[in-house]
A = this chain, B = another copy of it.
Amino acid sequence: MSRWTVPYHHGSLPEALMDGVARAVTEHGVTGVSLRDVARQAGVSHSAPAHHFGSKAGMLTAFAARGYDLLAESVIAEVAAAWANDGAAELAAIGRGYVAFAIGHPAEFEVMFSPDAIEIDDPRLHAASEAAYAVLTSAIGRCAREGRLHGRSPEVVAVAAWSMVHGLSALWLSGRLAERITEQDPHRLAAAVSSLFVESILPA
């Protein structure tokens, strides 16, 4: 079980490296991630990661892609738990799920939105983020069919909704938000902000 028993063919190096990235980002931020440090933690040589991910940017890109999958999971779970019987409730659940992902996976969130640290044109990344956006447009479409848009542009409403939950996530993780407000539970804050949005902007 010690690392000397598995000098070659680690068996699950990619997974171990992903865990190492999560730890490194949590401790030192994206800017402080070191390929060699991550490799050391996994018990392999300094250039073993290159074989699986090509480069440091490739490793972080894989980490971000995994993050998009987790984001979709979190959003879908929250929507399912809400038993949303209208578009507004569904959109609010999406918002809560988005923020819940950011709070639960801060390292992934940070890397996903650090464009210059990853390979932004990676097809897997693009597809995963496309899927996440589709969930949003689907909910907005449902609201439109329910007559909740009141003549407003679906595009503007979608951008507003996405911006709000993304901004809340980013500001919360930056720490600049918590120090200025009384509410210290990000999930309750996300629920309140999401409710405010759908109740005011998307009434029946």
A interface residues (Cβ-Cβ under 8 A, vs B):
28-32, 113-117, 120, 129, 133, 152-153, 155-160, 162-171, 174-177, 180-183, 189, 192-193, 196-197, 200-201
- Nearest residue (CB) in B for A194 is B160
B174 near A159 (CB under 8 angstroms)? no
For A114, the chain B residues whose CB sits under 8 A away are 29, 31
* Besides the known contacts A28-B116, A159-B177, 13 further A-B residue pairs in the complex with CB atoms under 8 A apart: A29-B115, A29-B117, A115-B175, A155-B181, A157-B196, A159-B189, A160-B168, A160-B196, A163-B167, A163-B168, A163-B193, A166-B171, A167-B170
Q: Are B167 and A168 in contact (CB under 8 A)?
A: yes
What chain B residues lie within 8 Å of A181 (beta carbons)? 155, 158-159
